[in-house]
Amino acid sequence: MFHKEGFKLIVGTLILVTAGVLLTDKFVNIAWLQSLIYLIFTFFLVIILQFFRNPKRHTKIGDSHVVAPVDGKVVVIEEVFEKEYFKDKRIQVSIFMSPLNVHVTRYGLSGKVNFSKYHPGKFLVAWHPKASEENERTTVVVENKVFGEVLYRQIAGALAKRIVNYAKKDMNVIQGTDAGFIKFGSRVDLFLPLDADINVVLNQKVKGAEDIIATKK
């Protein structure tokens, strides 16, 4: 199953690869060179297909926990001052996605979208300290009855050139469902209340919509 954001690119890649194979078959007469070109085209197609894959996830829905919004590795767990929306201290949990990870963004909790804003910006590497403030990004705040407001931020990386965000203000969203997509490597920051219990550790690999990031009573 593939994400809808990749349909055009997948079709375009299939056309390009098919044309390349046909041209190679017609104009390249050296067997080893033909095989090499076929291998390169196949590799390119596989990379595009795996990047836009959208595996089905089984989310345990509940207001007392926040699930991972994306697949990737936990690279930040720290108390910070969030200055765009809350303007106070929060626990930041950041998940870095390599180009090999699934890049679907999913809602970490159910609730009402109170804020959704796109910010144009730079394309620093996603782990750069200033990436969350200077890179292209979107900021979304979802409120539910246990956690209150939780902010997540999609951040473009050095390769990512487009962030897709489906969240709109006043929408009611369901935990684990499709919230958007980030193309070609990036990161997502979560900003949680200080009294949330964090269930992950640094360098832990998490699976979007399934692994629990934090709980709260």
Tell me the catalytic residues: 186
Could you tell me the two tokens for 197?
Answer: 């219990």
The DSSP line for 71-136 is SEEEEEEEEEEETTTT-EEEEEEEEEE-TTS--EEE-SS-EEEEEEEEE--B---TTSTTHHHHBS
Question: Which one, of 68, 115, 88, 83, lies nearest residue 193 by Cα?
Answer: 88
Compute the distance between CA of residue 12 and CA of residue 6 in angstroms, rounded to an integer.
10
Token pair recorded at residue 92 = 């930041």
CA torsion sign, 82 to 96 to 193 to 58?
positive
CA atoms within 13 A on the CB side of 46: 6
Q: What is the residue type of 22?
A: L
